[in-house]
Amino acid sequence: MNTSARRRFVVASLAAVVVGSTATACGSSSSDGPSGSTAAGGTYTVWDPYPQFDGTSDWVKLVESCGSQAGVKVKRTSFDTTDLTNKTLLAAQQGNSPDVLIVDNPVVSTLADAGVLTTAAENKLDTSQAEPNLLAAGQSGGKAYGTPIGANTLALYYNKDVLKAAGVDPASVKDWATLDAALAKVKAAGKKGITFSAIGTEEGSFQFLPWFWGSGAKLTDLASDQAVSAVTLWKDWLKEGYAPNSVINNTQTTSWQEFASGQYAFAENGTWQMANAKKSGFGYGTIAIPAAAGGTAPAPTGGEFVTVPVQKDTGRYAASDKIVTCLTNAKNLLATDTTLSYVGPTKQVQDQQAAATPELKIWVQAVQAAKGRTSDDLGTKYPKISEQMWGAVQAALTGSKSPKDALSAAQSSAADRPAH
């Protein structure tokens, strides 16, 4: 099968699979692809996953400004994250892809494997300033597909009043042993320990990964002793009453609602809850998620990549490249990442954010230690590994299997399944 035929086959197959479980789009209902056929002037389409921003927002004004600087008019369309992937695959199948696509970083390898995206090298996009650990989330086969626009990740929020009542100094939490000791004191003081999301979806995997990676485990070996120790940590928290049984069904939103009740010492959550934390009505702080033996555990990176999809008319790339470069230059990144509640993808922007907003220092630290879920060239292998991982966590927490047996079964299933 030649390359172009393979692209059509893979795109069609992926589109069929993804659309089978699609939800309706959020934001604009328009999904028109590129209009105009020349590089000079015309209308260029930009698709993004930010339906929360309307035409009056700073984000949309920036997109339009970047189009003007590139000498073109921009037609921006927003979808929710899942539907954006569906629409992108269908558009590629129909030869009607957007000119610029801003997409969740784990999806990049899927679209790249399907031949939907051009590489950064093909379009001479400068990725040299992006932090390597963030850029890795959008790499496949050693090639970068686009450039990160920003990142978020996970850390531990804490309730100052609960910790004070339990005699716990948050600075004392440096590894798993000291975290366990803190949780024991909190329980002894009559308060609740820690809440998180262990739901049987990607959210559960996302929240488990800092503990998995923090144990020293690797996604290529779900059944390692280190991986077993990570699942055992969570299981023991439920057994000791440090964490509620509700975590088994908690999303990140419902987990946050538990923390917002003011009864919990800790909550694992992300930068996107910072505004809600300020509205909580109690004093709070954040610490990095500790690795088993100390230091900051690698947490998974969230955030998007700005990419240039494949076009029949290659003459369109020049203007698309200018739009991408404008959206991701240092000046615009600072404003954009502030708007999106992201930590910048470059050290320059990260330093500026930490200097301007001291409470972001922990988040910058967490992002600097973070890791892409599809990194290590896992690419399209990640989704099947993740599904087996969250299933194993669920089995262990509900008691249907021991952590070791659950992870052994997960590893066997992950190794047996094809990537597509």
| pLDDT, block means (10 residues), the chain with 420 residues | 37 38 30 47 94 93 96 95 91 96 94 95 94 94 94 97 98 98 98 97 96 98 98 98 98 96 97 92 97 97 96 96 94 88 94 92 95 90 95 98 98 75
How many residues are recorded in the chain?
A: 420
- DSSP secondary structure, 298-346, as one string: PPBPB-EEEE-B--SSGGGHHHHHHHHHHHTSHHHHHHHHHHTT-B-SB
The amino acid present at 267, given as its one-letter code, is A
The answer to whether residues 66 and 82 belong to one domain is: yes
The answer to whether residues 240 and 343 belong to one domain is: no
> How many domains, in total, are found in the chain?
2
CA torsion angle 335 339 343 349 (round to 10): 0
Residue 109's pLDDT is 92
The answer to whether residues 382 and 262 belong to one domain is: yes
The answer to whether residues 173 and 264 belong to one domain is: yes
Q: Which residues contact 88 (CB under 8 A, 6 or more apart)?
A: 47, 97, 98, 101, 103, 111, 116, 309
Residue 3's pLDDT is 35
Is the distance from CB of 74 to CB of 46 less than 8 angstroms?
Answer: yes
The answer to whether residues 168 and 182 belong to one domain is: yes
| Helical segments of 174-223, H only | 176-188, 202-214
Domain range for residue 120? 3-151+302-369
Residue 133's pLDDT is 95
Is the distance from CB of 141 to CB of 109 less than 8 angstroms?
Answer: no
The per-residue pLDDT of the chain, averaged, comes to 89
Q: Using alpha carbons, select from 74, 356, 397 the residue that is nearest to residue 239.
A: 397
The answer to whether residues 262 and 277 belong to one domain is: yes
Q: Using alpha carbons, select from 33, 10, 17, 22 the residue that is nearest to residue 111.
A: 10
The answer to whether residues 166 and 79 belong to one domain is: no
Q: What is the pTM assigned to this prediction? A: 0.84
The answer to whether residues 259 and 403 belong to one domain is: yes
The answer to whether residues 141 and 87 belong to one domain is: yes
Residue 38's pLDDT is 47
Q: How far apart are CA 173 and CA 81, in angstroms?
A: 35
The answer to whether residues 228 and 352 belong to one domain is: no
The SS3 assignment for 253 reads helix
The answer to whether residues 187 and 291 belong to one domain is: yes
The answer to whether residues 119 and 198 belong to one domain is: no
Residue 76 sits in a domain of what CATH number?
3.40.190.10
Residue 180's pLDDT is 98
